[in-house]
Amino acid sequence: MNTTISFEPETLTVEENLLEEILRAADVVGKIYGVENSELSITLTDDEHIHALNKKFRSVDRATDVLSFAFRESDEPEIIGADFEILGDVIISLERAKAQAEEFGHTFLREVIFLEVHGLLHLLGYDHIDDEERQEMESEQKFIMAKLGIGR
């Protein structure tokens, strides 16, 4: 998968191994779901920035852990004749990931990758609005995390 990782604010930094694992997870998801030639944008951010996005796009006035913006569901025009699909954007709050990792008793790396996988599944059309959808999405998340070899 052609994955671009950016930071907002640009002064945020993470260890190189986290970036490598983010790219690896995107590649694994791409292969599993047959979208390995797709483009993906991942933004690593803080609570302040994700709060602003959550308020602007979802009318929810608080920070959250991950947001997904699927290109398939956007008003953007289709790219005719392209050899790739643009999946969309996944935005992850590193502050929320750190707090949740501590709360759930697992590593920061595991939490960031889990949030990435969760966001990617949303881009692929999975959701958790009702109980049946939630169970299906949770099953897919567990399957992917196992494929990645990242447990709790």
The tens place of each residue's pLDDT in the chain, 152 residues long, gives 999 999 999 999 999 999 999 999 999 999 999 999 999 999 999 999 999 999 999 999 999 999 999 986 544 445 555 566 789 999 999 999 999 999 999 999 999 999 999 999 999 999 998 999 999 999 999 999 999 999 77
Q: Please give the Cα distance from 98 to 112 (Å, whole number).
A: 8
Q: Residue 75: its pLDDT value, please?
A: 46
Q: If phi over 0 gives left and psi between -120 and 50 gives alpha, with beta otherwise, what is residue 14? A: beta
Q: Give the position of tokens 């797709």.
A: 38
Strand partners, 68: 90
Residue 113 maps to which CATH number? 3.40.390.30
Tokens for 124?
Answer: 């692929």
CB 41 within 8 A of CB 67: no
- Whether 54 contacts 18, CB under 8 Å: no
Strand (E) or helix (H) holding 133:
helix 131-148
pTM above 0.75, yes or no: yes
pLDDT at site 101 = 97
How many domains does the chain contain in total? 1
Give the domain range for residue 34. 2-148
pLDDT attached to residue 86: 86
**In this structure, are residues 138 and 127 in contact, taking their beta carbons and an 8 Å threshold?**
no
The pLDDT, as a whole number, for residue 143 is 96
